[in-house]
Amino acid sequence: MKKNLTTVEFHGTKEQEEKLLAVIAEYKGVKGSMMPILQKAQDIYGYLPIEVQRIIARETGAPIEEIYGITTFYSQFKLNPTGQVAISVCLGTACYVKGSGDILDEISSQLGLPVGSTTKDGKYSLDATRCIGACGLAPVLTVNGEVYGRLKTDDVKTILAKYRD
């Protein structure tokens, strides 16, 4: 799926940058090191916004487009951090035929948040996932790992309300 551009403001610290620079220094001159650098950068910042990719480009000499190409190719890389309230709706076959697509749309419209992105303040993030192995409860979603099953679109409001504060 196409990745949504970063919406969450960048608040990187000096400390994080120093950590990243140390990682890049560790891989200096090592061929094929872009993947581990990006993985560790994501560990440090939680995501890979343009500010982080610029640092990596500057330090490694790789064009930023090459880095962006890698981060949008692999699903493991995130252009937006996971929200404090991380919502994942299962779009596996069982959930999908049971209407999880409608649930996803409902959450998306209630939060005003496109699928695969995070609200500007970093509070909510919304993702569609593959089968999470809870087909008996279809359709299901998880919020911060907590599973909600046998859902109807009307349930969305109540679930979201639990995480409002």
Partner 1 sequence: MDNITVTINGKEYEVAAGITVLEAVKAANINIPTLCYLKDINEIGACRMCVVEVSEGGKPFRMVTACVYPVSSGRVIETDTPKITESRKLNLELLLSNHNQDCLSCVRSTTCELQKLCRDYGVSSSRFGGAKTDTHTDYSSEAIMRDNSKCILCRRCVAACKTMQDIGVIGANNRGFDTEIGCAFEMKLADTSCVNCGQCIVACPTGALHEKDQTEEVFAALADPDKKVYICTAPSVRATIGECFGYAPGTDVEGKMVAAIRRLGFDGVFDMNFSADLTIMEEGYELISRIKENKNLPLITSCSPGWIKYCEHYFPEFTDNLSTCKSPQQMFGSVMKTYFAQKNGLDPKDIYFVSAIPCTAKKFEVRRDHQCAAGEGIPDVDVAITTRELGRMIEKAGIDFRALEDEEFDNPFSIGSGAGAIFGTTGGVMEAALRTAAEVLTGKELKKVEFSEVRGNKAIKLATYDLGGLTVKVAVASGTKNAKELLNKIKSGEVEAQFVEIMCCPGGCVNGGGQPTQPAYVRNNTDLQGLRAAVLYNADANKLKYRKSHDNPQIKQIYAEFFGEPNSHKAHEILHTSYVKRGL
Distance of CA 72 to the CA centre of its chain: 12
Helix (H) or strand (E) holding 86: strand 85-90
* Contact pick of 53, 88, 117, 118 for partner 1 (by CB under 8 A): 53
| Tokens, residue 148 | 């909600």
Nearest approach, Cβ of residue 11 and partner 1 (Å): 18
Nearer to partner 1, 62 or 159 (CB): 62
82, 144 contact by CB (below 8 A): no
Alpha carbon distance 84, 9 (integer Å): 14
Alpha carbon distance 7, 94 (integer Å): 32
**By CB under 8 A, is residue 50 in contact with partner 1?**
yes
Nearest approach, Cβ of residue 113 and partner 1 (Å): 19
Nearer to partner 1, 6 or 108 (CB): 6
How many chain residues touch partner 1 (CB under 8 A)?
20
How far, in Å, are 11, 49, 62 from residue 27 at the CA level?
25, 21, 13
**By CB under 8 A, is residue 36 in contact with partner 1?**
no
**By CB under 8 A, is residue 147 in contact with partner 1?**
no
Nearer to partner 1, 6 or 88 (CB): 6
Q: Which of residues 63-82 bind partner 1 (CB under 8 A)?
A: 63-69, 72-74
Nearest approach, Cβ of residue 127 and partner 1 (Å): 16
- Asked if omega into 49 is within 30° of 0 (cis), the reply is no
* Contact pick of 10, 43, 58, 110 for partner 1 (by CB under 8 A): 58
Nearer to partner 1, 38 or 141 (CB): 38
SS3 content of the chain, % helix, strand, coil (to 5): 45, 10, 45
Q: What does the binding site for partner 1 look like in residue numbers (CB under 8 A)?
A: 1-3, 5-6, 50, 53, 57-58, 62-69, 72-74
